[in-house]
Amino acid sequence: MLDYLPIAVLIILATGLASLVVILGHLFGPKRYIETKMMPYESGVNPYGPGTRRMTVRYYMVAVLFILFDIEVIFFLPWAVVLRDFIDHSLGLFALIEMFVFIVILLVGYAYAWKKGALEWE
């Protein structure tokens, strides 16, 4: 657990340092409230309608694809670490075949997503 202590210290200090710089900017910068200046920027005209509005569904499809693939990709990491150990204990072929079965399952999902047009930006 002591290995992670420097990281915890760095989290606190990095956040603190970045906040400090922003606070310094607050101290040195002017603060003048002008109503038109505080409007959301919209190419010089008065903003039309709400600023946060609905996005197209395509962004959500990319997000769902990412969730599917990234979770599966994380399973590769422990396999990659121990592959050499498995080979040293003459279990290399077993490790390879196990992983290739997994990759084939991944590719079936990939092919399905491609066939369904989830990878297209139309």
Q: Would you tell me which residues interact with other proteins (CB under 8 A)?
A: 3-7, 9-11, 13-15, 17-19, 21-22, 24-26, 28-32, 35, 37-43, 50-53, 55, 58-59, 62-63, 65-66, 69-70, 73-74, 76-77, 80-85, 87, 92-93, 96, 99-100, 103, 107, 110, 114, 119-122
CA distances from 53 to 38, 56, 101 (A): 20, 10, 43
CB of 30 to other proteins, least distance (A): 5
End-to-end, the C-alpha distance of the chain in Å comes to 49
The H-assigned helical ranges of the chain are 5-28, 57-74, 76-88, 92-115
* CB nearer to other proteins: pick between 103 and 108: 103
CB of 108 to other proteins, least distance (A): 13
CA distance 73 to 69: 6
Extract the tokens encoding 93. Answer: 């072929």
* CB nearer to other proteins: pick between 73 and 108: 73
